[in-house]
Chains A and B, each alone.
Chain A
Amino acid sequence: MSRNKMSVAVLVLSLFVLVWGNMGIALAMSGQEVIDRVKDEYGDFKSQVSQLNIKVYDKERLINDWQVTLFTRSIDDKQQSLLKFNSPKDVAGVGLLDLGEDLMYMYLPEFNNVRRIAGSAKNGSFMGTDFTYNDLSLINYDTSDYDAKLIKEDNEFYELELCDRDKTDSSYAKIAMTVRKDDWFPVRLVFYNLDGKKQKELVSYDVTPSGKYKYPKRLVMKDFLANHSTEILIAEPEFDLDLRDDIFTTRTLQRSKIRY
C-alpha cells in the first residue's frame, strides 16, 4: 500500500472512530431516559385495579395483615387513586382518595366523615407501614416528582440517583434506584434520609407478565433504622379497565363495597 493510501486509511479510520465514539456516547442513556423507559414498561397503563395483601412486620414478627383494593388511573396528565381497606375489622372501610394536585381525602368509618388531608401528612407513615403517602406513588412507577441522574451502569444494571424536585417537601436526601437492563425492571430503591444515612430499601420480586404489561408479585420495604418491614403481595392486576369517573369521588370512598 502506498504512503498516500495509508494516510487516507488512517484518516478514514480516525474519522470513523471519532464518529462511532460519539455515537457510542450518544447511545448511553441519561438517568431521565432510564426512568422514562421504566415508566413506559411498567407504569404506562391507563388504569389499574389491584388486590393487595399488606403485611407489616416489627423485628420479623407479623403485626398487621391487611387486604386492600387499589384503583389507579391516569387522566389529563394526573394520576388519581383510591385505596380501600377491606379487612381486618379494625381497618375495614378506611379509604384514601388522591385526586392529584395535592387534593387528598381520607375516610375513617368511626368518624362517619370524609377529611381533607394536607401536604404535611404525605411525608408521614401510611397507616403505620414503612411507606409514606409519597412513597406509595413509587409503587406505580410514578417518578414524575423526581429528577434522575445516571450514576453508573454495568452489563446488568443501571444505577440511578433520584432527587425530589420539591426540595422543601422531601423526606429523603436522595433515592438510589437499580434498574435491570434486560427488562427495565426497577429491582431496588434505597432511600437515604436527610442526614444522608441509608434509611429504607424497597425490593421488588417476581416480575410477571400480564397481557402487554408486567408487574412485581412481591414488594418488600425494609426500614433499617427501625428494624421494621412491610411486604406487599400483589394479585394479578386488571389493567386498562374503563373505570368510571364516579369511582374517584368521596361518594365511592365512603362505600364499603366498590363495584367497577
Chain B
Amino acid sequence: MSLTTNRLTIGLLLLTLCLAAPVAAAEVDGQYTLKLAVPLETDQPIDESIGSVGLKTDIESDLGNLGIWKLRITASYDNKLDELKDTWNEEHTDIVREQITMGFDEAYVDLYSVADSDLDLRLGKQFVTVGIGDGISTLNLTEPVQALSVNDLSSRAVIGVRADWYPQDTHIIAFVQPRVTPTCLGPELEASLESAVQQELLGLVPAGFQIGKLDAREVPIDYGKEGLGYTFKGEKLIGRADLGLVYQKGYVPFAVVSDFKAEPMGETASLAITIDKKYMPLQKIGITAAGTMGDASVWGEMTYNIPKKDFFASVFTDNPALSEQYRFSDETYLTGMIGVDYFLPKDIYVNIQAIRGFPHEFAKSMLSDYVIVDSYKYFLNNRLKVDGKMIYCLRDKGWVALPEVEYQVKSNIRVFGQITRPGGDAESLFGQLENAKMVTVGANVSF
C-alpha cells in the first residue's frame, strides 16, 4: 500500500471516529500462521524451501449505535531456508526488518441505517464481492487477485465507498473506487508470467533483426480522462431464486500489454523495442442467479465484457506471428459460470463450477473454459478434514491438483498439509508451472 493511500485510509478512519459517539473497547483477535513450502522439482529441496511466518490481527469496535470500525493488520516474513541461514549470520536485524511485509488488509468504517434509513455505508479498504461464484467470479473488477504462489490464491481488498440500500425486499449496492488496487503476484509467479509474455512478443521481431534495447514501461492511469471505477448491483428474491443485475466500470487490475514498437537503431540490424503496459478500462454487464434445485444449491453468472475501444495497438490484432491467445483486440465478449454443490451420503461435500474466463483473461482471444471440482469429508469426529480440489482447462488441457488435509489439534490450533501438483502440456498455463510442484505443511493458531 502506498504511503499516500495509507494516509488517506487512516485519515478517513480518524475523521469518522472523531465524529462518532464514544467508542467502546475494541475487540482484538487474530491468527498466527507458520508454513513451510518444499519444492519438488529441485535437487536441493531443503535449501530451496520457503519458510513463512504470518500474523493477522483484527481490531474491531462499535461506534455506539452508528456502526463499527475494523482494522485487519497483516505482517509476514517469507524467505528461502538457505537465505535464512545467511540472514542469521548478519550482524544486525535491519536486514530481517526490511524483509518483513506489513500492511492493512482491511481498514473501514461501517455506518448502519444512515439517518434512520435503509442505507448502510462502508468507507475504506474493504472486500467487495458482487459475483456469486465460490472463490471466483466473472464480475471481478473489484476483486484483484493475490497469488503469492499457485496454491495461495485469494482476493485483495480495494479502497472506496460502498452503499447498500434495502428498499422493501430489494438490495442495491453501489461502490465507487477512486483508485485501482492492482493484482499482487509472488515474485516467482510474476517472473514466470512476464517471461512467457516476453517470449511471445519476441515473435513480433522481424526476421533478421535482433534486440538492441528492450524497454518495458507501465503507463500510469489517467483518471481525469478515463474516470473512476464504480460498480452497481441490484438483487432480489424472485420466486425461489436470488436474481441480480450488475454493472461495473473500471480497470483490469493488472497492467496488460497494449503496444509493441520496434524501431531501428541506426544502420545496424538491431531494434529498440518498446513495450507499453497499461491498465485496460473495461465495462461489465452481468446477471447473477442463485437458488436450489432439489437438494442441490445452484448458481450462475453471465457477463458481457466491453473493453475500451482501440486500447490495443493494431500490431496484435489477427497477427499470425503471435499465438492465438496473444492476438488481443477490443472485441466485446461473453464470460460466465455455473456451479452446483451437494452433500452426498456420509457427509461428503461436492462442489463443481464451470467457468469461461479466468481473472487473468482480459481479451476475447485469451478466453478458456475451466472446470473446478472441490470435494471434502470430515473424519475422526470432524477433527480431520480431507479436501481435494482440481482445476482443469478444457482449452489447453492443463490442470492443477490441490489435495489437502487439515487436523484440528485443539480448538484454536489446526495443522495442515497440502500438495500442489500442476500438470499438462508444457505449453499450457498450468503446464508452464511444473516448477511450482510443492508440498506445503503448516499450522494456524488463532487467538
Task: List the interface of chain A (C-beta within 8 A of B).
Answer: 56, 58-59, 62-65, 87-90, 92, 102-103, 111-113, 115-121, 123-125, 128, 226-228, 246, 249-251, 255-257, 259
Contact = CB atoms under 8 A, between A and B. Distances in A.
B30 A89 contact: yes
Interface of B: 29-31, 58, 60, 62, 65, 68, 70, 110, 112, 118, 120, 127-129, 132, 134-135, 155, 164, 166, 171, 237, 240, 242, 290-297, 299, 341-344, 347, 349, 378, 380-383, 408, 410-412, 446-447
Contact of B381 (A58, A92, A249): A58
Given A112-B127, A256-B60, A246 B412 contact: no
A251 B381 contact: no
A120 B340 CA distance: 12
A255 B112 contact: yes
Nearest to B292: A118
Given A63-B411, A112-B129, A103 B240 contact: yes
22 contacts: A58-B381, A58-B383, A65-B411, A89-B30, A89-B447, A90-B446, A92-B29, A103-B237, A111-B129, A111-B134, A111-B135, A113-B132, A115-B297, A116-B299, A118-B295, A118-B341, A120-B296, A228-B382, A249-B166, A250-B171, A256-B68, A257-B68
A125 B343 CA distance: 11
Contacts of B30: 89
A88 B381 CA distance: 20
Nearest to B344: A120
Nearest to A250: B171
Contacts of A228: 381-382
Given A58-B380, A63-B408, A119-B294, 15 more contacts: A88-B29, A88-B446, A90-B412, A90-B446, A112-B128, A116-B292, A116-B297, A118-B342, A119-B292, A120-B342, A124-B343, A125-B382, A250-B171, A251-B166, A255-B112
Contacts of B342: 118, 120
B297 A117 contact: yes
Contacts of B68: 256-257
| 5 nearest CB pairs, A to B | A120-B295, A128-B382, A119-B295, A89-B29, A120-B343
Contacts of A257: 62, 68
Nearest to A55: B411
A119 B382 CA distance: 21
A118 B65 CA distance: 34
B192 to A, nearest CB: 27
B423 to A, nearest CB: 27
A63 B446 contact: no
B412 A88 contact: yes
A123 B408 CA distance: 23
B232 to A, nearest CB: 17
A89 B129 contact: no
A89 B294 contact: no
A246 B118 CA distance: 10
Contact of B297 (A118, A246, A251): A118
A113 B347 CA distance: 23
Residue of B70, B446, B447 ringed by the most chain A CB atoms within 10 A: B446
A104 to B, nearest CB: 9
Contacts of A246: 118, 166
A103 B240 CA distance: 8
B135 A259 contact: no
Nearest to B63: A257
Contacts of A116: 242, 290-292, 297, 299
A122 B8 CA distance: 45
A33 B358 CA distance: 58
B164 A251 contact: yes
Contact of A62 (B128, B291, B381, B411): B411
Contact of B410 (A63, A87, A113): A63
Contacts of B166: 246, 249, 251
Given A89-B29, A120-B295, A113 B129 contact: yes
A88 B447 CA distance: 8
Contacts of A113: 129, 132
Nearest to B240: A103
A89 to B, nearest CB: 4
Contacts of B60: 256
Nearest to B299: A116
A128 B299 contact: no
Contacts of B408: 63
Given A116-B290, A116-B297, A118-B342, A251 B120 contact: yes
Contacts of A118: 292-297, 341-342
Nearest to A128: B382
A246 B382 CA distance: 34
A89 B60 CA distance: 12
A259 B110 CA distance: 14
A220 B204 CA distance: 72
A251 to B, nearest CB: 6
Given A112-B127, A113-B129, A255-B112, A123 B290 contact: no
B343 to A, nearest CB: 4
B378 A128 contact: yes
A58 B381 CA distance: 7
Residue of A58, A59, A65 ringed by the most chain B CB atoms within 10 A: A58
B292 A125 contact: no
B333 to A, nearest CB: 25
Contact of A121 (B112, B240, B343, B446): B343
Contacts of A92: 29
Nearest to B291: A116
B285 to A, nearest CB: 20
A102 B171 contact: no
A125 B446 contact: no
B290 A88 contact: no
